[in-house]
Chain A
Amino acid sequence: MSDLSIPAAAAVPRRVKRRLALVVFGVALGLAFLCGVGFGAVRIMPGDMLSIVLRSDVDPRLEAVFLAIRLPRAVLALVVGAGLGIAGASMQGLFRNPLADPGLIGVSAGAALAAVTVIVLGGSVLHLITPAQRPWLLPAASFIGGLIATALVYRMGTRGGTTSVATMLLAGIAVNALAAAGIGFLTYIADENQLRLLMFWTMGSLGAASWGVILPALPLVVIPALLLLRHHRALDAMALGEREASHLGIEVEGIKTRIVVLVALCVGGAVSVSGIIGFVGLVVPHLVRLIGGPRHTLVLPGAAMLGGALMLSADLVARLIMAPAEMPVGIVMAALGAPVFLSIMARRHAATAL
């Protein structure tokens, strides 16, 4: 390629672009959060929010809607979106493949199989637990199911202290297929009410958001996500190849294990309270790289911020578009995100073409 082909965008150094991108993502996230807590059947303006936070005189109904309904839901959307975004970015870095997805290590499939099992067969164990424990059954089962599936994939990819990401990828495909078979069977034997439930679970929803359900799940997502942020240098080095990363001083085997564990916890925690929400983990890291380049100092926090913003926006649309009914957020996410992604890709193509 000749020098004539240097895209105009290359004139802005990547370091500047990275900083700009983080500012833009931060503003987008802030706006999305305000809209998420503000809009709905009752509109709450930023001024009202300030009054509620400052405990000054405010309509108690407004306060109740804000604190008990809107805020937990927005926090859940933010955390789930951020967690899936950062987990996706980490997976793509680890697998050195921009098409990798948090689901590759089996965590979503395992969680889905466990959740569907509880929905279809759970009736028979319900008498074993107290009514107070019932709301926990589904999230707990799906979280544990996700971890078991990941452990299986990881075990199959590891031999003699060395983890092969290529073997892990194949094992992930097999575990996904196995889980799909199990889900298919359970779907087949499910009754109509169970069918509705499991259908909605696999399409993802943030409707379960109450402080009681989400508070225990939040640290499961937030802590691994924060720990993943610290691996930006290792993931950068791994992009050159595992051997190259080790030549640059990265303890590759330990890092691989740690990233798989953190991603499994992060995604498992998110899926357990929101069901399966695709697209975020796959596409958000792409968007970030298209905007500011592939350095993980940007991609990890950027994917968290943009994932959170996108999830908040998708949930807003899901709540408003058919109000008072609610669309599954997973559907909105795909319908909203895919065109954005395609347009950015098309524009970038135009910029780099001769």
Chain B
Amino acid sequence: MTLAVHELTQRIGRATILQDISIEVRPGEMLGLLGPNGAGKSTLLGALAGDFKPTAGRASLDGQDLARLDALARARRRAVMRQHGAPAFDFTVREIVELGRSPWVGRSTTADDRRAVSRALALADVERFADRATGTLSGGERQRAQFARALAQLDAPPSQVAAQRYLLLDEPTSSLDLSHQHALLTSVRRLAADGLGVCVVLHDLNLAARYCDRVLVLRQGRAHAMGTPLEVLTPATLEPVYDVRFAALQAGDATMLAVIG
């Protein structure tokens, strides 16, 4: 039971975005995707979401070819939160979160939906402005609203809970203040502990070190390093990728990476 890509190569036009990547997102774990801009992180996340046909190799969900599943079947098994523009019209936060329930139309009751929406609003800490239009919110508040939508989508109705589900996040903390960065990743961590499989694109190496079970470092579309944060997030591994110099600092029982030049 995994969400996986196997020997995946993705070309867009003549550019090779990803080259020969194999990874799997396992139930109960958080897999981090790291790398500089243009390394192929979002494309890899898109491939895991089933957004496009692989140029070579395959993407699969619990052994089934992702390309064979229709959009609805995929939507019932995984939620995606991308880096986001504003919605086209002035929805309230609650309406955005309610949209997360659309894959379950016909499968869940109104009561199920209402419960799922209020749970998601609470978990993403957006209850306070749930009935405000997204146009009046800050970027971070909007990002949390999108997170709530993804959570509402994963809240399967009682008859469907048995299936394994996955959450794909593309820089979910990019607009968040410090405390909400940790709050969001802590919620995700807790969902993973309950069995959710999570793949998350992060830029902050220290957040990745703290919350991810494994990380994949991409460099120009290839897998540069893969393993636990302790194994991978070292100056020796990362310096050639980011082209900066790191120092590993000891703070309490945590190792922090700092850029020193």
Contacts and interface: CB of A to CB of B under 8 A. Distances in A.
Nearest to B90: A294
A231 interface: no
Contacts of B137: 1
A173 B83 CA distance: 31
Interface string B72-106: 11111001101011011111101110011011010
B95 A295 contact: yes
Contact of B91 (A241, A248, A251, A293): A293
A244 B85 CA distance: 11
Contacts of B91: 239, 293-295
Interface centre among B76, B84, B91, B138, by most chain A C-beta atoms within 10 angstroms, is: B91
Given A14-B94, A14-B95, A247-B49, A236 B71 contact: no
B103 A239 contact: no
A248 B153 contact: yes
A249 B102 contact: yes
A243 interface: yes
Interface string A83-95: 0000000000100
A240 B95 CA distance: 11
Contacts of A243: 51, 82
B184 to A, nearest CB: 19
A246 interface: yes
B74 A249 contact: yes
Contact of A249 (B71, B85, B92, B94): B71
B131 A5 contact: no
A293 B92 contact: yes
B75 to A, nearest CB: 3
A251 B99 contact: no
B253 interface: no
B80 A247 contact: yes
Contact of A247 (B75, B89, B131): B75
A10 B49 CA distance: 36
A240 B99 contact: yes
A17 to B, nearest CB: 10
B90 A244 contact: no
Interface in A218-272: 233, 236-241, 243-244, 246-252
A166 B155 CA distance: 34
A233 B98 CA distance: 11
A13 B92 CA distance: 10
Given A1-B136, A252-B71, A294 B89 contact: yes
B99 A247 contact: no
Q: Interface extent on B, as a size class? A: 35 or more
B132 interface: yes
B89 A237 contact: no
A249 B76 contact: yes
B197 to A, nearest CB: 16
B82 A244 contact: yes
Contacts of A1: 136-138
Contacts of B70: 251
Given A96-B88, A293-B95, A246 B131 contact: no
A6 interface: yes
Nearest to B88: A96
A182 B222 CA distance: 55
Interface string A1-28: 1000110001001100000000000000
A62 to B, nearest CB: 47
Given A14-B94, A249-B72, A5 B136 contact: yes
A255 B242 CA distance: 42
Contacts of B131: 10, 13-14
26 contacts: A1-B136, A1-B137, A1-B138, A10-B92, A10-B132, A13-B131, A14-B92, A14-B94, A14-B131, A237-B99, A238-B88, A239-B91, A240-B87, A240-B96, A244-B82, A246-B51, A246-B71, A247-B79, A248-B75, A249-B71, A249-B75, A249-B103, A251-B70, A293-B90, A294-B91, A295-B95
Interface of B: 49, 51, 70-76, 79-80, 82, 84-85, 87-92, 94-96, 99-100, 102-103, 105, 131-133, 136-138, 153
The 9 closest A-B pairs by CB, nearest first: A249-B75, A294-B89, A96-B88, A249-B72, A249-B103, A247-B80, A239-B88, A248-B102, A239-B87
Given A236-B99, A236-B102, A247-B75, 7 more contacts: A6-B136, A237-B102, A240-B88, A240-B99, A247-B80, A248-B75, A249-B72
